[in-house]
Amino acid sequence: MKLSVGTTERDDVTVLTVSGEVDVYTAPQLRSAIEERIAAGQTAFVVDMQEVAFLDSTGLGVLVGRLKAVKKLDGWLRVVCTNERILRLFGITGLDRVLPIFDSVDAALAAAPGDLLEPEVTA
């Protein structure tokens, strides 16, 4: 299955809508989409993974790596996901304590930075 990454802007936040499978073959596409926005000066991201059917360690690495990159710029990255299998993967790896995860884009956008427990992510 291929990967599709769409982008929209909402109140100075880039919302990336991801669908398909994020794996070793497609993860570079997601990385590039985020890096292009970072290069353009954007530092606030919501990655909507509601339509993602599969996520592997490469995809997780992209999310963590881009989180580190935007934190260095005083930005943030939040994930939207309700897929139980993918949420379980975040939990098993402990990344649910690193990446703020929400059940909707609106909830992710509404959360004030002070409301979030966003632990320090080291390089």
Domain ranges in the chain are 3-105
Contact between residue 109 and residue 10 where contact means Cβ atoms under 8 Å apart: yes
How many angstroms separate the CA atoms of 56 and 122, rounded?
21
57 φψ region: left (φ > 0), alpha (ψ -120 to 50), beta (else): alpha
**CA–CA–CA angle 29, 31, 34 (5° rounding):** 110
- From 119, 68, 69, 75, select the one nearest 94 (Cα to Cα): 119
The CA dihedral of 18, 19, 24, 30, to the nearest 10 degrees, is -20
Q: What is the pLDDT of residue 123?
A: 42
pLDDT tens for the chain, residues 1 to 123: 699 999 999 989 999 999 999 999 999 999 999 999 999 999 999 999 999 999 999 999 999 999 999 999 999 999 999 999 999 999 999 999 999 999 999 999 998 665 555 444 444
Q: What is the pLDDT of residue 79?
A: 97
Q: What is the pLDDT of residue 116?
A: 54
Q: What is the pLDDT of residue 26?
A: 97
Fold of the CATH domain 3-105: Transcription Regulator spoIIAA (3.30.750)
User: Taking the model in full, what pTM does it have?
Assistant: 0.90
Q: Which residues lie below 8 Å from residue 81, measured CB to CB, with a gap of 6+?
A: 49, 50, 52, 87, 90, 101, 103
Q: What is the pLDDT of residue 122?
A: 46
Q: What is the pLDDT of residue 11?
A: 86
